[in-house]
Amino acid sequence: MPRPIADLAKQLDNALTEGTLREWLAALAPRDEEYARLSLRYLELRALPRDDGDPGIGSGLIEVGDADPRVSAIVEQLVMGEYLPPDAAPDTESPPIYTDRVANAVKALQRDYGIAADRIVGPATLRVLNLGAGDKARAIAVALERRRWLEREPPATRIDVNTAASLLHYYREGVLVDTRRVVAGKPGTETPPLQSPIYRLVANPTWTVPKSIQHGELAGVGAAYLQRHNMELRGGWIVQRSGTDNALGLVKFDMHNEHAIYLHDTSAPELFERSHRHRSHGCVRVEDALGFARMLAEDQGITEAWEAARGGGEQQFVQLSTEIPVRLIYRNVFIDKDGKVAFRTDPYGWNGPIAKALGFAERADTKLRSDETDIAP
């Protein structure tokens, strides 16, 4: 991933000589609006009273209709998070009832934090409800640090994939024109942070199964399994033929990088409806990938070639007229489409070392655990 290149020693010397040290220091930080807004929210949270001694809301499931004394504290947290109006009050029953109104506010919070939006107050939801101002300030500080690692002026036309939030953003000449859900790598086979261009579209791709999957999830499978999944052995490699049941779906977006990471379609589109979308072996599955490929083909002036390749039924390659930079970035705090500061969990557990380096106390691990089997890349 490209990082800002600067001769800081020379710049500092010039600033001291010219008496512009204050201006030089101010110019070191990124100047985009998102960085400014996150910085402001960080300062607001740091100004709030410390909450380290608060034991938080106790454990245990709460479902609609339950009478539970913890509902009062839940409503208080929802009001603070602006999920309920300031005049909201829990049910007058003692203990208060977990009503549909409160459950709907919890559902909105669950969606914002990327956890299952089922209206049930369970362990993941309680972790979010128990986040204090200090926890949120810590998360924002890490996000700001990650932003400082990136180049100050990213390519105007690019694709950004936020693997922490499982979201794709397509910018055309600096303007956001498309947003899609994605499925990113699971813990243990994380999608790495990198910048790499898409250089061609692959229609009706075949999939050569990596040896790690062949000797792992597919170890010991027989001829019946291969036939059932439209696979065959070629020179010791398992290859899945083109088709709607192919793990890559009907389109692959080839990228230049040493990690063999790329974007692709999927034969399991139902996964995009999940709140947590981290289950691949590192590659990125794109929601409505055919529609996205069509959009890129139109922008590149290769629509006719792309549609012809698609219609053939066999694997065919269509070169882009101009490569499109793709940045795979990891940020669990960002400004969402509604202009709000959005928080997500830390699915890979990557934030702890950065927070520690920034001087923050350690917090409980929020890394995802995945025990689901998925053979796709």
Please indicate, yes or no, if residue 43 is contained in any of the structural domains. no
Is 29 in contact with 101 (CB distance < 8 Å)? no
The reported pLDDT for the residue numbered 103 is 94
| pLDDT band at 14; cut points 50, 70, 90 | confident
Q: Which residues are designated catalytic?
A: 264, 283
Is 238 in contact with 376 (CB distance < 8 Å)? no
Please indicate, yes or no, if residue 319 is contained in any of the structural domains. yes
Please indicate, yes or no, if residue 120 is contained in any of the structural domains. no
Q: What is the CATH number of the domain that holds 152?
A: 2.40.440.10
Q: Which domain holds residue 164?
A: 140-206+242-335
Please indicate, yes or no, if residue 188 is contained in any of the structural domains. yes
Please indicate, yes or no, if residue 73 is contained in any of the structural domains. no
Instruction: Report the candidate in 100, 99, 90 with the shortest Cα–Cα distance to residue 69.
Output: 90
Reported as a single tens digit per residue, the pLDDT across 294-348 is 999 999 999 999 999 999 889 999 999 999 999 999 999 999 888 888 888 898 9
- The pTM of this model reads 0.84
3-state secondary structure of 127: helix
The span from the CA of 254 to the CA of 200, in Å, is 5
Q: What contacts 24+ positions apart, CB below 8 Å, involve 98-104?
A: 98/62, 98/63, 98/64, 98/65, 98/66, 98/67, 98/68, 98/71, 98/74, 99/64, 100/64, 102/71, 102/74, 102/75, 102/78, 103/64
Please indicate, yes or no, if residue 115 is contained in any of the structural domains. no
Place of tokens 């409806």: 273
Is the pLDDT score of 49 beyond 90?
A: no
Provide the angle, in degrees to the nearest 10, between the axes of the packed helices 133-149 and 33-46.
Answer: 150
Is the pLDDT score of 108 beyond 80?
A: yes
The reported pLDDT for the residue numbered 56 is 79
Domain tally, the chain:
1
Please indicate, yes or no, if residue 129 is contained in any of the structural domains. no
| pLDDT band at 6; cut points 50, 70, 90 | low
Please indicate, yes or no, if residue 221 is contained in any of the structural domains. no
Is the pLDDT score of 2 beyond 70?
A: no
Reported as a single tens digit per residue, the pLDDT across 219-273 is 888 889 999 999 999 998 999 999 999 999 999 999 999 999 999 999 999 999 8
For the chain, percent of residues with pLDDT exceeding 90: 60
